[in-house]
Structure 1
Amino acid sequence: MTNSAPPASTLFRAGAEFELGFHDLLANGQAVGRSSGMVIFCFGPLPGETARVRITAVKPKYAVVEMLQLVVRAVDRAEPFCPVFGQCGGCQLQHLTYAAQLHWKRTLVRNALQRIGDLGDVLVREPIGMSAPRHYRNKMSLVVKHEGAQTRFGFYRQRSHDVVPIQGCPVVLPALDRIIASLDRARQDERFRPILSRARHVVARSSHAGDQAVVTVTTSVAEKAVADSGQALMGALPGVTGITNSYDISGANVILGRRHLAVGGRAYIEEEIQGVRYRVSPASFFQVNTAIVSRIMRFMQPGLRRPHQIVDLYCGTGTFALFFAKMGSQVYGIEESAAAIREAGENAQLNGLGDRVRFHRGSVEHAVSTPVGRSALQDAHIAFLDPPRKGSDPRTLDALANAGVPHVWYLSCDPATLARDLKFLAAKGYRLGVVQPFDMFPHTGHVETLVTLYRERPGDETLEIGPSSN
């Protein structure tokens, strides 16, 4: 790959233009090139492409450029299907064919496990994706932009707090896409001007079937205007079954507040996955891709054919804990959020699973060091972890290893922190079993990965999970 770049002495200044070849793609959508020893980042190109670019920023060890013209086109380039792709920060990969996205995500996971985890030549399976990778997100968070007396809705621009106005979104469920259009009409209705003029965000969550949706208006403080007009706003948004007001914001970059008030209809939706019913409130953490959650559950089913003792760390509202219980296992779930634990308990009762699950509220790293937590781990046959993006921590992983849990199932949304934690567990004597990526977030740089680990000890049962359930 050749670059028609000028000498280094004249190249690296703002405004300089040249042609550059690109060889890699980052999770944030930036292509990576190199010229005269300098690493260069650019949105737009793909690996294998050459583009004419202009420098916009120069740092000591890298430069940022903008693409002016595509010179050499990759065979995997696709036509983006969203009119604001490249501006909106929601999607990073629409210009890459879906098959190539899956291949890239597999490489992303493998490279992390090798480079960060020092795990050698790991077998990473082909990612399990979607047959129709659009209209999958069951939740969206619209930014409310105020321009004088006008109100607009949109998403944040790439790497910015500037707002890109939108008329629709092709990756949210159709019910949510319709809400965007309805909100656009409602903003021109004088009845709703007091509500929307005070709004920071509008968050909407829909059931996969699209028959229920809750819209949350986020404000700095509880707003009487939202309470007074909530029922009318619900009527102006077809398909919406509840309106809530979220307030008491804890920081400038926080979307939902610490307090919630139902002002119209029901303050939750109901979802069903693999025979388990879930009531999900606006503030709940619930995976955004219901179809892929179902695929993950089906993937694990062969290992759950007989009942087990399972400890579910970072259990949230019980998404997987209740599935394990439905399959016949006894589950002990640990979660720090009081609201999540409350919903987990309510969903256990909703499904008649109260006798198979116990939930404990507390930080995972502290809970596993208590007598009850240690006992639960010592009795467990499987420890299931679904931590936040930052991953787990040495204290938790050490407690898990010291308890001698024979099987660990780790579901991660970040390959780097996953690799770090797997390296820790490998040093404690665990061996890798299955490494299976799932495309929870098509057209983005994110990937979900399920990894099984086990200890080879006499008498331990082998648990097989995988393709037979797909």
Structure 2
Amino acid sequence: MASVGEKLQMEITDLGHDGQGVGRHDGQVVFVSGALPGDTVEVRLQVVARRHLVGQLQRVLTPSPDRRRPPCILADNCGGCSLQPLNDAAEAEWKQRSLEQTLQRIGGLNAPVRPLLAADPTLGYRNRALIPLERSGDGTLRAGYYRRGSHRIVNMARCPVLDPRIDAMIAPLKADLEASDWPIDRHGGDLEAEDGPGLRHLGLRVGAATGELLLTLISSHDELPGLETLADAWRQRWPELVGVCLNLQPRPTNRLMGDETRVIRGRDWLNETFSGLRFRIAADTFFQVNTRQAERLVPHLMEALGPGPGDASLLDAYCGIGTYSLPLAAAGWHVTGLELHPRAVAMARLNAAANELEGRAQFDQADVPLVLEERLQGMQALVLDPPRKGLSPAATAAILAAPPSRIAYVSCDPAALARDLAQLCASGVYRLNWVQPIDFFPNTSHVEALAALERR
């Protein structure tokens, strides 16, 4: 019987869904962060549960042939990029196989899975960063992502997966924020915590095509003396910085940004070009972090929906700022977008107007599961891009009650996708034509997928 603290040697044979190495001991699965398939490792057991064990990596005794020197010096500690030690070809192969196995294991689906659209480049691709902040005991400001499995910040001055234009801002911004003496709310908005309220995160965003920059400080309050002076200095230092904003998030919650964003200098949105169209992206609205890969998905999305008649109508559920709605409208569809967040709806309408697509794209604020059945009436096609947890039972039921001819389902969680596809296909209403994986998040265990369904 294994015990906590015991040291074991084992071969790692696979990766778990969060990128942990997977081995076995006496028939039990052992999860080991930092270990790769093909490694022989020594681990110290940290968790002994009935169905699995968790081990802490002590040494790599024999490295996997797919192991490489990570491009980031913090990769062994930072929880942001769990697969940096795995070479690109092996990562792509694992993501392809993992998606196929998940569809089969959870959904019982033997769908044709197309070859992964691998990312190129695999570094410098993220157009947005939300970086946690804290002060150490001596007052030094620390900024960085959390250590794996903890809330301890791994201090950094750069991050190679970020677009170089925002990566270059981190070190000088850290120095300015440290010199400000503003309090840091490292307890996540707990106003009764010992450290008191203060700054929580540093937000940076870049237009991949335009180069415009946005800087947003996320704080539990607005008492930041000298912020306007700093904002002026930042805009002088970086001419591409079109706005400096303050987002207020006073609540003790895991939600990173609050409902109120104030413009300190400039504006609270940047211009971007996506799929040949002009977009405004605000400091507090969602946009895919890998612009190049999101654009590569658009032709496959159009293929999944098929050629519609000239007056074909399409519903885009969870449409955001119109990222996919507007390219589809430009291609000839009459698109109605549904989105819960009012700020995103407002931006989608502005983006439609900027591209002279108001006649082909309209956007409404709505809680999708509550209105989906009604809004699907008369629609030929449906685009789904739900949150990571996938469709709610109410949303699935609404689709089956008013099924459109075709569905294009974009998912960032293979397990949720497999569950939802199984429910849609088990009804006998739909058949699954193909699934296209695409790597939006190289150096991590995450993989995006597009599923094409057709009514029988």
Q: What is the TM-score when the length of structure 2 is the normalising length?
A: 0.91
Distance 2:399 2:253 in 1: 37
Amino acid at match of 1:309: S
Q: Which of residues 112, 125, 139 is equivalent to 1:136? A: 125
Secondary structure at the aligned position of 2:273 is classed as strand
Shift of 1:292: 0.4
Amino acid at match of 1:49: D
Q: 1:25 to 1:267 in 2, by over 3 A?
A: same
Q: Alpha-carbon deviations, 1:266-315, whole Å to 9, x = none?
A: 21111111111110111101100000011001323455655431110111
Shift of 1:224: 4.7
Asked whether 1:89 is paired with 2:79, we answer: yes
Higher mean displacement: 80-89 or 177-186: 177-186
Distance 2:264 2:314 in 1: 39
Shift of 1:237: 5.0
In structure 1, what is the equivalent of residue 169 of structure 2? 179
Q: Alpha-carbon deviations, 1:43-89, whole Å to 9, x = none?
A: 12212321122223333433222222222322222221101102111
In structure 2, what is the equivalent of residue 423 of structure 1? 422
Q: How does 1:13-162 map to 2 (within 5 A)?
A: 13-119=3-109, 121-147=110-136, 148-162=138-152
Q: How does 1:64-463 map to 2 (within 5 A)?
A: 64-119=54-109, 121-147=110-136, 148-187=138-177, 190=179, 192-194=180-182, 198-209=198-209, 211-225=211-225, 227-229=227-229, 230-237=231-238, 239-302=240-303, 307=310, 308-370=312-374, 373=375, 377-428=376-427, 429-456=429-456
Higher mean displacement: 226-235 or 385-394: 226-235
In structure 1, what is the equivalent of residue 190 of structure 2? none
Shift of 1:331: 0.3
Unaligned runs of at least 5 residues, structure 1? 1-7, 457-470
Q: Residues 436 and 451 of structure 2 are in contact (CA less than 8 Å); yes or no, is this contact kept in structure 1?
A: yes
Amino acid at match of 2:159: C
Higher mean displacement: 346-355 or 227-236: 227-236
Shift of 1:217: 0.5
Q: Residues 125 and 163 of structure 2 are in contact (CA less than 8 Å); yes or no, is this contact kept in structure 1?
A: yes
Distance 2:184 2:256 in 1: 15
Amino acid at match of 1:396: A
Q: Alpha-carbon deviations, 1:416-470, whole Å to 9, x = none?
A: 11111101110222001120000010011111000000023xxxxxxxxxxxxxx
Q: Residues 333 and 359 of structure 1 are in contact (CA less than 8 Å); yes or no, is this contact kept in structure 2?
A: yes
Amino acid at match of 2:392: D
Higher mean displacement: 245-254 or 256-265: 245-254
Q: Residues 111 and 433 of structure 2 are in contact (CA less than 8 Å); yes or no, is this contact kept in structure 1?
A: no
Distance 1:174 1:449 in 2: 27
Q: Residues 76 and 96 of structure 1 are in contact (CA less than 8 Å); yes or no, is this contact kept in structure 2?
A: yes
Q: 1:248 to 1:145 in 2, by over 3 A?
A: closer
Q: Residues 226 and 245 of structure 1 are in contact (CA less than 8 Å); yes or no, is this contact kept in structure 2?
A: no
The alignment yields a C-alpha RMSD, in angstroms, of 1.9
Aligned length: 438
Distance 2:8 2:423 in 1: 45
Q: Alpha-carbon deviations, 1:375-411, whole Å to 9, x = none?
A: xx23222100000001012322222222231101000
Secondary structure at the aligned position of 1:155 is classed as coil
Higher mean displacement: 201-210 or 447-456: 201-210
Distance 2:236 2:134 in 1: 23
Q: Residues 250 and 258 of structure 1 are in contact (CA less than 8 Å); yes or no, is this contact kept in structure 2?
A: no
Q: Alpha-carbon deviations, 1:337-390, whole Å to 9, x = none?
A: 1111111111111111111112121110111244xx1xxx23222100000001
Q: Alpha-carbon deviations, 1:7-65, whole Å to 9, x = none?
A: x4xxx233322311122201222111111233211112212321122223333433222
Shift of 1:210: 6.0
Q: Residues 111 and 434 of structure 2 are in contact (CA less than 8 Å); yes or no, is this contact kept in structure 1?
A: no
Q: 1:226 to 1:340 in 2, by over 3 A?
A: farther
Higher mean displacement: 399-408 or 283-292: 399-408
Secondary structure at the aligned position of 1:359 is classed as strand
Amino acid at match of 1:64: V
Secondary structure at the aligned position of 1:131 is classed as coil
